[in-house]
Amino acid sequence: MKLFQFLNKNKETKFQCLCCGQIYDEIPLTFGSEFPSYYFTIPENEISERVEYEKSLCIIDDHFFHRVRLAIPVLDYSENLNFDIWVTISEENFIKRNENWNDEERIHLEPYFGYLQNEIFGYQNTLNLHTVSIENKPGIIPNVQVIDDSHQLYSDQKNGISLEKAKSIVQNILKIHHN
Ligand SMILES: [Zn+2]
């Protein structure tokens, strides 16, 4: 009996992309954007002049950005749905982040306010949502929390989503990636 439960459980972790049939050992749950959306408005021949980009930090003209992880708890699963995306950060906090880049104690710094700078798949109008980002240990990008309490992302981060909803978001993302 136990063996059957084990087998069934194992089977459940496999995930198949509906658009092409590709099979994953586990549902892919981490997605992201390489750049803040503002980057994509810069003409290619102006990028080297206007954009500074390093690790998970980016400066475009006089705008400061950092990469953060937006995690949405999946209630009936062991992992979160993650989006590694960009938010704005003030110049003052940008400097602070740089100064504390390798400091183990940076987890005690005050959260950084910022505006979300990417569209999040499965959600509408996520550009410029208000957020706070909380430092992690060196080597790990901060975790971001949406603080606009009228937005679906706020309640989903707070309350979690079902595995069914996560799967449907993931299917939609893969459909775009695979085409
Ligand atoms: Zn596919």
Residue 166 lies in a domain: no
Closest CA to 157 of 71, 67, 85: 71
* C-alpha 28, offset from chain centre: 13
Strand partners of residue 48: none
User: Within a domain: residue 45?
Assistant: yes
Q: Is residue 172 part of a domain?
A: no
Distance 61 CA to ligand 1 centre (A): 37
Instruction: Give residue-wise pLDDT tens across range 37-68.
Output: 999 999 999 999 999 999 899 999 999 999 99
Ligand 1 centroid from CA 124, angstroms: 23
> Cα 66 to chain center, whole Å?
12
DSSP state of 97: H
Between CA 89 and CA 143 the distance in angstroms is: 13
Nearest to 32 by CA among 109, 113, 144, 110: 144
Ligand 1 center from residue 32 Cα (angstroms): 17
Does residue 179 lie in a domain region?
A: no
| Ligand 1 centroid distance, CA of 165 (Å) | 18
Q: Are 62 and 88 in contact (CB under 8 A)?
A: no
* 116 is a domain residue: yes
**Ligand 1 mean position to 16 CA, how many Å?**
8
Count the neighbouring beta carbons within 10 Å of the beta carbon of residue 164. 11
Q: How many angstroms separate the Cα of 106 from the Cα of each of 19, 48, 103, 114, 168?
A: 43, 31, 6, 18, 36
Ligand 1 centroid, distance to 15 Cα (angstroms): 11
Residue 2 confidence class, pLDDT cut points 50, 70, 90: low
For residues 34 and 58, the answer to whether their CB atoms sit within 8 Å is no
User: 172 C-alpha vs ligand 1 centroid, how far in Å?
Assistant: 9
Residue 117: inside a domain: yes
Q: pLDDT tens across 62-85, in order?
A: 999 999 999 999 998 999 999 999
pTM of the model: 0.90
Number of domain units in the chain: 1
Domain region containing 137:
29-160
Q: For residue 55, is it within any domain? A: yes
Centre of ligand 1 to C-alpha 20, Å, is 4
Residue 138 host element (H or E)? none
> How far is Cα 141 from Cα 51, in angstroms, rounded to an integer?
20
- How confident is the model at residue 179, as a pLDDT? 87
Summarised one tens digit per residue, pLDDT across range 104-133 is 999 999 999 999 999 998 899 999 999 999
Q: How far is CA 80 from CA 12, 24, 54, 58, 131, in A?
A: 17, 17, 26, 26, 18
